[in-house]
Structure 1
Amino acid sequence: MKWTRDFGLTARMALTSFLLLIVYLIFLGVLSALGFSFEFLLIVAAGMAFAQYFFSDKLVLWSTGTRIVEEDEYPDLHRSVRRLATEAGLPMPKIGIMASPVPNAFATGRNYNNAVVAVTDSIMRILSKEELEAVLAHELSHVKNRDMLTLTLASFISMLAFLVMRNWFFIGLFGRRDNNAGALIVVFIASILVWVMSTLLIRALSRYREFAADRGSAYMTGNPRALISALQKISGRMDYVPAEKKQEVEGANAFFIIPALSGNTLMELFSTHPSLEKRVAALEALESEVRGY
């Protein structure tokens, strides 16, 4: 298998982490200036970051309703993942199944030894064996590229700002009592700006990492045409999934191979994936290289 380190992805992960750190510090600085104890904020933030780092995979699995399955439950699925993991030089990840009419797949985990590759039960019904293996190879590419950890940690400040936005009135009650209305407005505006900035950074990283994982799948399977077919099938089936079912899983869109957008939320404005047309074009350009002609 041809596999070279993607320095473009590595540079983007480093830049995203650095910029998000700056945004993070500015956000904490604003809250501290409004009367919150900076030491208290740092302790709380560090504690949450620690929990997210060590339990990120469990949080993602819990939020999506995914359960880890053993080999005797899905022997074919385990067999395919094991073969692909061996091809990629990776230890065997855990396998998860998500019960959902939304055909999708994702990978999570902080490192090689804690990786989880999950698929929905519906995606296994609509894809052929070759197409499913191409999707599994895409998810294993995320593990190989180590971009799952960066995405998980990058989402922390975005989620923190979103929580402040949603609960800004109650947070203000525990802040400074003098000029409380002005402080509330500043906190709310700062939270909006931080959320938008961090979400845009995550989007920029996530779009590139999808191209990188598509490329990894093509190299791993030697069959980019299978991934093209799988992406087209998944995208086409999304139109028939009820909007409420897609809305239930929209929070995990950054992890999915194809986003599940209901059209009813702001997630439409912050798409984490490149367009299907661009992904197909990139895979078609890779096909001659993979085939050796």
Structure 2
Amino acid sequence: MKWTRDFGLTMRMFLTSFLLLIVYLIFLGVLSALGFPFEFLLLVAAGMAFLQFFFSDKLVLWSTSTRIVEEDEYPELHRMIESLAARAGLPKPRVGIMTSPVPNAFATGRSPKNAVVAVTDSIMRTLNREELEAVLAHEMSHVKNRDMLTLTMASFISMLAFLIMRNWFFMALFGGGGGNRDSNMGALILVYIVSILVWVLSTLLTRALSRYREFAADRGSAELTDNPRALISALQKISGRMDYVPAEKKQEVEGANAFFIIPALSGNTLMELFSTHPPLEKRVAALEELQAQRRGY
């Protein structure tokens, strides 16, 4: 099939990466100015970036307890994904199953050659065949758009700042001693404040990219299946089913929300403020507009 390249998504990925690089360099510069060895900071950053690049897919699968399944276990699921991959001009990705009452799906991997498309066991019980195919097409669109790696790498600085924020108490406890305690504490407080600012900025930039990429993947699903109505129905079913999933079960998988087709929000207002997805109503409206265009309205 002829794939319409989303230049808006491409430009946003480049712009987000560029702005995050500037924020990242400023962050490292502040830490270095406060006495942290710059060479050590670069070494840690390079090591974590290396791990994210080569092991991001394994970390996502591990954190969600997703297992790779063979064709003889889920033959119909494999056939659907194989067919969509052929239509998109992609190699067939590995297929994963996540055991969870949260109906959802995601794609991960640094490139189309090592991509994984995974679904929860509950989503297969929730959706009919056309709806499930539309959801899988949405995930294949992420693979085709190559936005998975960008999102994973873009989240690196946010994660680093968050770790510093979370461990600030221990830094203050063990780093605040010595001959000039007041000076050390002042520096650590400044690091904490800068970490908060960096976390907020990087999170907002990452979330802005994440929201747009969901619109792009919705459009890709409509192109692959020529059935926007099926994805609308699937999104509404998944969203409606979320209301009946216990909050603790949604909280267990919130860390992977950026990858899911619908975020699993447990009611944490901070998580909702930094939502990784656009509102369902806007996604449905965009898909309905695509449906109208296909009908010539």
Same fold (TM over 0.5): yes
CA shift digits 1:137-158 (9 cap, x unpaired): 0000000000001000001111
Amino acid at match of 1:193: L
Q: Per-residue deviation at 1:288?
A: 3.0
- CA change 1:17–1:176 in 2 (3 A) is farther
Return the letter of the residue paired with 2:144: K
For 2:120, the equivalent position in structure 1 comes to 120
Question: Could you report, residue by residue, the CA deviation over 1:29-78 in whole angstroms, capped at 9, with x for unpaired residues?
Answer: 11111111000100111011001100000011111111111111100000
Matches of 1:90 and 1:175, distance apart in 2: 54
Asked whether the 8 Å contact 1:34–1:175 carries over to 2, the reply is no
| Runs of 5+ consecutive residues of structure 2 not aligned to the other structure | none
Q: Which residue of 2 aligns with 1:150?
A: 150
CA shift in 2, pair 1:220/1:291, >3 Å: farther
Is 1:182 equivalent to 2:178 in the alignment? no
Distance 2:6 2:282 in 1: 19
SS for the counterpart of 1:36 is coil
2: CA distance, partners of 1:265 / 1:184: 28
Alignment of 1:244-263 (within 5 A): 244-263=248-267
Q: Which amino acid aligns with 1:190?
A: V
Give the match's secondary structure for 2:61. helix
SS at match of 2:96: strand
- Which of 224, 227, 233 pairs up with 1:229? 233
1:283 paired with 2:287, answer: yes
The answer as to whether partners of 1:107 and 1:115 remain within 8 angstroms in 2 is: yes
Q: For residues 280 and 239 of structure 2, what CA distance do their matches in structure 1 show? A: 8
Q: Deviations over 1:238-271 (max 9, x none)?
A: 0000000101111111110000000135211101
**Take 1:226 and 1:245, find their aligned partners in 2: how far apart are those partners?**
27
What is the Cα deviation at residue 3 of structure 1? 1.6
Distance between the aligned counterparts of 1:204 and 1:147, measured in 2? 13
C-alpha displacement of 1:291? 4.6
- Pairing 1:1-293 to 2, within 5 Å after superposition: 1-172=1-172, 173-174=174-175, 177=178, 178=180, 179-264=183-268, 266-291=270-295
Q: Structure 1 residues 27, 84: CA separation in 2 closer, same or farther (over 3 Å shift)?
A: same
Secondary structure (helix, strand or coil) at the match of 1:118 reads strand
| Paired residue total | 293
Q: 1:104 offset after TM fit, Å?
A: 0.4
Give the CA deviation at 1:175: 8.0
Contact 1:200-1:270 within 8 A present in 2 as well: yes
RMSD of the TM alignment (CA)? 1.3
1:167 Cα deviation (Å)? Answer: 0.4
**TM-score under structure 1 normalisation?**
0.97
Identity %: 83
Distance 1:186 1:110, change over 3 A: same
- Distance between the aligned counterparts of 2:118 and 2:275, measured in 1? 21
> SS state of the match for residue 106, structure 1?
strand
